[in-house]
Structure 1
Amino acid sequence: MDMDFSKLGSLADQKLPTDPIRIFESLPNLPGTPNDIWRGQTEALSQWNDNRSQNDVLIELNTGAGKTLVGLLIAQSLVNEGLQNVVYVCATIDLVEQTSAEASRIGIQHTTRVAGGYNNDLFESGKAFCITTYHALFNGLSSIRKNHFPEAVIFDDAHVSENMIRSAMTLSFSEHTHEDMFEEVASLFDPHFRELGRHGEFSNALKGEHSKIVMAAPGGMQKYSEQLLEILNRHNIGGDKDLKYPFSYLQDRLNRCAIFFGNKGCEITPPFLPSLRIDCLERPLRRVYLSATLKSKADFVRAYGRMPDATIGPKNDAGNGERLVLFGSKIEGGVGVKEVEAISGQHKVVLATPSYFSAHHWDALGKPPKPANFSSELQDFREAKEGVFILVQRVDGIDLPHNTCRVMVIENLPRGGSLLERYQWEFLNMRNLFASKMANRLAQLFGRINRGRNDYGVFIITGNELNTWLKNDRNLALLPELLQQQIKLGDLVQDGMAVTSAEKLTQIVNAVLGRDAAWLKYYGDNIQKGSLEDEKEDRANRVEERLTAAAVAESEHACLLWDGDLEGAGRALDRIIEDTNRADTPLAGWHSIWLGSCYEGMGSRENAAIAYQRAKNRLGSGNVYLPLYTRVCDAKGQDEPFNDFGEVLDSIIGYDSEDKFEKELNTRIKGMRALDGGSSAEVEAALRELGDLLGFDSTRPDNDQGLGPDVIWADDHSEVLIPFELKTDKTMESVISKKDVGQGHQHQEWVADNYHKFENLGLVYVSAAGSCDATASPSEDMYQCDLRAFATLRDQVLSMIRDIRNRLPLERANFIRESSSDDRWLLNHLFDAIDTVPLRSRQPAKK
């Protein structure tokens, strides 16, 4: 019998929908499928669909606003479009499992990859997208990138992904994990730290004493990189189950990395991430970044190497739950085990702590789960009626909505544990660099138990560092606006109701969680009234613009350095370093180190010396270990060392080239131009620059750390200092207010706590204000002077520089030595030279 094939239908391709909203509407009607999607999700999906052809699209939604569903629908849309190897990456295996469960709940086919294997063949056969981890995608031996290079990637939690990408390019080993290799590497760098005169501190770092962390000078890494590679290869690091992945990135570029020692361990990592040299970030493919709302794009750029082509941030109130934020610093004796135990007897508590070491303080309440048991113990806590769950170094992927938990205790800032981050934070005081990181991490923590508009909870802040950080307006400006308002409101409630005892703390927690009617009315009436002043918000935004520009330059520098283009890499940093210095002096100091490294690598010791000297001035000479290159002269007495002021003068005057001299001098002049008038931030930067020119340890504590006076000039040798408060926006008709004076008293206390060995000559208000408020109480060590005095001082120094430059080259060193040693440049003489007058004398005579 013949077969009649004519009866068969044609094998036509079924047209699949690519509009993500249509995909949602066509999902199977499963028990877990939501009936509808929220307004914010709809807007995000619609706008992404309009921008789907762009390579890099950032989608910002509040924590708890449903980013996962948005990401899954976009992933399916890209599969339906016909893109091959669509990948959805999560921070952890636990989050891969959560995202997979969400996809299954709504009926979207997918594959997962964890622990080196796929759970089905849908992804490999091109029928579905794959959910996996950042590590699986970014590790140096990624089988996904090798065998199934993606045409599209969805990055979940993109706002906290920098550390995950950096960890893929970081070699970290210790005395505990690789004892013999660690000892050999330490021995290799021992002569280097002896040459720098820092062998004692190096030894402390190796022993794990005093929490010391040291970084080798860039030239040391350049010098020893080949021997370091021999040691690593001899210990078969390429076969190590953990270290082989980052080693594949770094093995041919060790001389372009930084090396740190501390806590009996060693860490090797690029100083700036060369993200755009990772193929899945460098090539033109579709990348979608799912993020919490970002006030600053600097960390995004540091992670991914570029600004997004399009940013989608629909306005929505999903995730905007009710919060009462209470400060443990206002509770007598603070908040400890006893206080948390009293609350946990009535309400479940999540306790977030930054390290396992700090978790030991809470041993009486419980132990943090081991990584292998984390998911199961977290689920047990969700289902429990009482108890405390201790969360260590975890800010995302933990969802405890509604009655699963309504109290969170946050202990101190959620800092990272890498030696690089700890070195920058603890030893270089690079607080501005981490301000946006901390803000993003804190926003995530606040979202762990507060997941929707109708959710509510109480947050208790413990630890001096975090309590202080949250009271700084510049830091607050980086948080989501509603969270800013909730923190301000909580501060007001705690003061107004005198919540200063453990008993009162428990009472107010019970009232809020018991839905006290008076609290609900007060919260509703006042929550929109806690915004920051426009001026403070604007200032924070201006700083962030410069820091984002700095991040773009860092990315360019890192890529050129990765390619071996030292000149281009140096030029990328040099182009923005002075603008960066006006916004963040320590960050400019970090840039100066690596600019000097480029010069040193090119053999330009003169330029390297200047860059390294600037790094020391900006970061503090005691905090960074860098070589001091000096000029060698044949003339008698020419090799006698200069004082600090002389070193700065020599770094400007000592150029052989007239063009280089003029360029350097003009850079200095530009940095001090605002002494003739400018915005508050510009004048602060200019006054700091003048102090640096005079050879002092010149800093901007309020800008760089969020604490203390606007500017400090400190002489480390004589241990004398002058703190400055800038009120340059005031005119002759203005007054130094009672609030200004109160702030001055606080800053004098800060100076006393942080410079206890120094003599404080007096807090100087730099202002044209005609008087001081009669109701204020200035101390006898408070003074006032006019900004014009500093412009005059600047012009005197610049005139002296040109006079010395006009001398014969062989005469210049002696004239530098003689001029810089004049007593008129000592701090106590300068205090008089700027015409300071006691602030009390500016008050109206009492009748």
Structure 2
Amino acid sequence: EARLQQEKSTMFAWEHVRDHVDTCCIMISGDDITITPPFVPVRSLPYFNTGIRRVYLSATLSAPDAFARTFGCIPEEVIAPTTTAGECERLIVIPSRANLERDDIEMAKELIDRRKALVLVPTYSRATRWEDVVQPPPRKDVSRYVREFRDAPAADSVKLLLAARYDGVDLPGDTCRVMVIDDLPMGVGPLERYLWERLRLSAILRTAIASRVVQSFGRISRGMSDHGVVILTGERLVEWVLIPKNRGVLPVFLQKQISLGDAVSEQADSIQDLLSAAEQCLTRDDGWIAAYNDYLADAELENADVDTEHLTRLAKSEAKYGHLMWHREYKKAAKVLRATLDDAFALSDSTGAWHCLWLGAAYQMMGDGGSAQEMFLDAHATQRNIPAYPRENAQVSQAAVPAQIIAIDEQLNILADGSIVLPKGLDTDLAYLGGSGSPAQTEKSLRALGQYLGLNATRPDNEHGTGPDALWVADGQPVLCLEVKTGKDASSRYQKKEVGQLSDHVQWVKDHIGDTTIIPVFVGPVMPATDTSNPPSDFLVVGLEQFKQLGDRLKAALTDAVENALPTTLRDTLMTTFSKRDLIWPDCMNSMEKYTLRDLSVVRN
């Protein structure tokens, strides 16, 4: 009925995927259905085949993992001449960092009110936030609008808004000296939006986003002789550029400018302060130039702390998998993704879950339903925003079943003969609750414990470079915010810096989860804080052994349930067993010995 092979907007894309729909990812939204390979099989195109010489030209796509995902290979030789392109003088203004209780977009509108300015947004829906100032040009007339904007006098206050156009537009010098980058420059495709907004694959998308950020800044600059003001708005963009791990993958020059802009914005007590700072940059004020040069000369760089080799290995694995699945070599595709599955989980749990899903797809196409279901269960259990795989023996219970019990049920494997088996990784995943592992290994086991308890358990700091070490979330229930300090010496204290770190992570949870009850916990030795720390009254300290005991009760309950339940009674049995063993969240916290950090400090004093 859609006439896909006749409509010009779909006929060419449909010709590519029509015989490969069963190997594709299908994204369904309220507006459309998108059929796309999960990993683009770019090497299937004849001009990307092995044996053909290719020269790639790019000013920004320098990260090897981003290159591998785009072109399916790594170049044998890279020629990267030293250049000052992009190193123009910039003042970066971040209105949300100023001491003002105002919407940052509204402040940005005031800052550009009397200036000729370019506004970049990631989507047309985001463009509606600017419709009282400027609207995006019709898609067929974008080039004409860009030319007219470029030719307009510098003194005019004309505005140009472009949606999802981060390259191909050059407005250097007096053609445009003021630009707003609103919100994170993500792709407009449903798959990439799903990976970012639902799976939160920050680690694997970091270099791709960095490339777009760099491209965005380059729209109004071309070299050292240029200068201008760039205004950053949108919570996701501001948060991304201020996270050290993210900023560390940006060019050195841009890192320093962001650091300077953050410092200038934080000192502003009024919109006039921001306007004055912008004016000094645009008029080449001597004081501004001196301060700018001094700051950039002394500014410290962020440590990128990015394992490029690890990321590139995963990117190459995805590219090979995409190519092999496209050619229906399912066994080889499964072998490729299986070989790097541990690497995927080492990068982040969400990345591992995404790879589990598509490894399961390869097994399914091979006819190995058991292995496929195991992978699908692992994918959903680890990342709840990957849909659960429907089971033929799924039961229908008349009683209302809590979401926690449903989530536990979806992690158990029901075999063809009706027997129920525990997750294969249960013991190994929880092994480091015994205290034998590093803090990172302990974080991994704490996340897994939350998962097997049926909660949405994540490791925000591992994935995003900020936030708690482990986070347990259940809809409508208190959220557990865990900071792992198992490496501390038993004779030391919780430092002021560590208390501040946990406070920062509590705020991160409020910003990302919303208005809910938060239980902040140090997991480590039971000891007081230093006299100068002043911990909030709700900060708790819980020894790791308490989580070990919780894990042991959990394993015993799961064992009882699978031994005594039938597929049709599994959820009811889980409910009864978990209630008897006091494992329903958040009641299971009541059985744990926990201490208020402030009370510990009072006792010590």
**TM-score with structure 1 setting the length:** 0.62
Alignment partner for residue 776 of structure 1, among 508, 513, 533? 533
Code of the aligned partner of 2:210: A
Correspondence for 1:686 among 424, 432, 445: 445
Question: What secondary structure, in the 3-state scheme, does the structure 1 residue paired with 2:229 have?
Answer: strand
Partner of 1:470: helix, strand, or coil?
Answer: helix
1:617–1:645: structure 2 CA closer, same or farther, 3 Å change rule? Answer: closer
Determine the structure 2 residue equivalent to 1:191. none
2 CA distance for matches of 1:650 and 1:378?
57
Contact 2:122 2:182 in 1 (8 A): yes
Say which of 488, 492, 501 aligns to 1:730: 488
Indicate if the aligned counterparts of 1:476 and 1:484 stay in contact, CA closer than 8 A. yes
Bigger relative CO (Cα 8 Å, ≥ 6 apart): 2
**Residue 624 (structure 1) aligned with residue 393 (structure 2):** no
Q: Distance in 2 between matches of 1:715 and 1:340?
A: 39
| Partner residue in 1 for 2:70 | 303
Residues 784-823 of structure 1, C-alpha deviation per residue, up to 9 Å, x if partnerless? 2344544565566567878999x79999979978755543
Q: Which residue number in structure 2 is paired with residue 785 of structure 1?
A: 542
- Structure 2 unaligned runs (5+)? 396-402
Aligned residue in 2 for 1:838: 596
Aligned 8 A contact 1:784 1:839 in 2 = yes
1:597 Cα deviation (Å)? 2.5
Bigger Rg, structure 1 or 2: 1
Q: Kindly state the Cα deviation for residue 768 of structure 1 after the two structures are TM-superposed.
A: 4.0
CA distance in 2, matches of 1:671, 1:574: 22
Aligned to 2:164: 393
Task: State the match for 1:526 in structure 2.
Answer: 295
Contact 2:89 2:224 in 1 (8 A): yes
Alignment of 1:376-391 (within 5 A): 376-383=144-151, 384-385=153-154, 386=156, 387-391=158-162
- One of 566, 572, 578 as aligned partner of 2:336: 572
Deviation of residue 382 (structure 1)?
Answer: 2.8
CA deviations over 1:466-519 (Å, ceiling 9, x no partner): 222222222222222221221112111222xx3242222211101112222222
State the distance in 2 between where 1:734 and 1:275 align.
55
In the TM superposition, residue 273 of structure 1 has moved relative to its aligned partner by 0.9
AA partner of residue 466 (structure 1): L
Structure 1 residues 405, 682: CA separation in 2 closer, same or farther (over 3 Å shift)?
farther
Paired with 1:240 and 1:343, the residues of 2 have a C-alpha distance of 42
CA distance in 1: counterparts of 2:252 and 2:427, whole angstroms: 38
Mark the CA change 1:545 to 1:842 in structure 2 (over 3 Å): closer, same or farther: farther
The amino acid of 1:451's aligned partner reads: R
Structure 1 position 245, deviation (Å): 1.9
Separation in structure 2 between the aligned mates of residue 720 and residue 823 of structure 1, nearest angstrom: 20
Shift of 1:444: 0.6
Change in Cα spacing, 1:670 to 1:759, as seen in structure 2 (3 Å) is: closer
Q: Report SS of the residue matched to 1:290.
A: coil
Question: Following the alignment from structure 2 to structure 1, what is the Cα–Cα distance between the partners of residues 432 and 18?
Answer: 46
Q: One-letter code of the match for 1:823?
A: R
CA 1:517–1:810 in structure 2 vs 1: closer, same or farther (change >3 Å)? closer
Query: TM-score, structure 2 length as denominator?
Result: 0.85
1:619 maps to amino acid: Q
Distance in 1 (alpha carbons) for counterparts of 2:270 and 2:80: 42
Match of 2:219 in 1: 448
Equivalent residues in 2 for 1:496-515, closer than 5 Å: 498-515=267-284
Once residues 426 and 54 of structure 2 are traced to their aligned partners in structure 1, the CA distance between those partners, rounded to angstroms, is 40
Q: 1:394 to 1:781 in 2, by over 3 A?
A: same
Q: How does 1:111-510 map to 2 (within 5 A)?
A: 180-181=1-2, 235=3, 237-292=4-59, 296-331=63-98, 332=100, 333-336=102-105, 340=109, 343-345=112-114, 347-383=115-151, 384-385=153-154, 386=156, 387-495=158-266, 498-510=267-279
Deviations 1:259-293 (A, max 9, x none): 22324322111111112222211231112222345
Unaligned runs of 5+ in 1: 1-179, 182-234, 633-640
Alpha-carbon separation, structure 1, partners of 2:487 and 2:132: 53
**Structure 1 pair 675/294, CA: closer, same or farther in 2 (3 Å)?**
farther
Asked whether the 8 Å contact 2:123–2:164 carries over to 1, the reply is yes
Assess, with a 3 A threshold, how the Cα gap between structure 1 residues 531 and 766 changes in structure 2: closer, same or farther: farther
Residues 790 and 310 of structure 1: is their aligned pair in 2 closer, same or farther, counting only changes over 3 Å?
A: farther
Query: Structure 1, residues 25-75: CA drift from partner, whole Å, max 9, x if none?
Result: xxxxxxxxxxxxxxxxxxxxxxxxxxxxxxxxxxxxxxxxxxxxxxxxxxx
| CA offsets 1:552-573 (integer angstroms, 9 cap, x no match) | 2222221221122333323332
Letter in 2 for 1:241: K
Looking at structure 1, the residues matched to 474 and 135 of structure 2 have their Cα atoms a distance apart, in angstroms, of 48
Structure 1 stretch displaced more, 788-797 or 601-610: 788-797
Partner of 1:713: 472
Q: 1:753 to 1:513 in 2, by over 3 A?
A: closer
Aligned length: 591
Q: Partners of 1:527 and 1:599 in 2: how far apart?
A: 53
What residue in structure 2 maps to residue 63 of structure 1?
A: none
CA shift in 2, pair 1:661/1:309, >3 Å: farther
- Contact kept in structure 2, 1:672 and 1:687, CA below 8 Å: no
Q: Partner of 2:55: helix, strand, or coil?
A: strand
Check the 8 A contact 1:823/1:829 in 2, yes or no. Answer: no
How far apart, CA to CA, are the structure 2 residues paired with 1:456 and 1:327?
Answer: 17
- Of the candidates 523, 527, 530, which is equivalent to residue 766 of structure 1? 523
Distance 1:646 1:339 in 2: 47
- SS across alignment from 1:483: helix
**SS of alignment partner, residue 429 of structure 1:** coil
Q: CA deviation at 1:625?
A: 5.4
**Contact 2:433–2:547, Cα closer than 8 Å, also in 1:** no
CA distance in 1: counterparts of 2:160 and 2:269, whole angstroms: 25
Counterpart in the other structure of 1:594? 358
Q: Does 1:741 align with 2:509?
A: no
Summarize the Cα distance change of 1:642–1:452 in structure 2 as closer, same or farther, 3 Å threshold: closer
The C-alpha deviation readout for 1:94-135, integer Å capped at 9, x for no partner, is xxxxxxxxxxxxxxxxxxxxxxxxxxxxxxxxxxxxxxxxxx
Find out whether 1:613 has 2:377 as its counterpart: yes
Contact 2:484 2:522 in 1 (8 A): yes
Cα separation, 1, equivalents of 2:544 and 2:361? 37
Answer yes or no: is the 8 Å Cα contact 1:783–1:838 preserved in 2.
yes
Aligned to 1:165: none
C-alpha separation in 1, matches of 2:552 and 2:79: 49
- The one-letter amino acid paired with 1:329 is S
Residues 727 and 846 of structure 1, relative CA distance in 2, 3 Å threshold: closer
Change (3 A) 1:323 1:278: same
Structure 1 position 562 matched with structure 2 position 562 = no
Q: Distance in 2 between matches of 1:422 and 1:510?
A: 37
Q: Which amino acid aligns with 2:56?
A: Y
Give the Å deviation of 1:395.
0.6
Q: Is the 8 A contact 2:541 2:594 kept in 1?
A: yes
Is the alpha carbon distance of 1:339 and 1:809 closer, same or farther for their aligned partners in structure 2, counting shifts above 3 Å?
Answer: closer
Provide Cα deviations, 1:758-793, integer angstroms capped at 9, x if missing partner.
Answer: 654x21112348541322232222112344544565
Distance 2:310 2:426 in 1: 18
Q: Which amino acid aligns with 2:246?
A: N
Whole-angstrom CA distance in 2 between matches of 1:616 and 1:375: 44
Counterpart CA distance in 1 for 2:430 and 2:80 is 37
- RMSD of the TM alignment (CA)? 3.7
How far apart are residue 683 of structure 1 and its match?
A: 3.5
* Deviation (angstroms), 1:446: 0.8
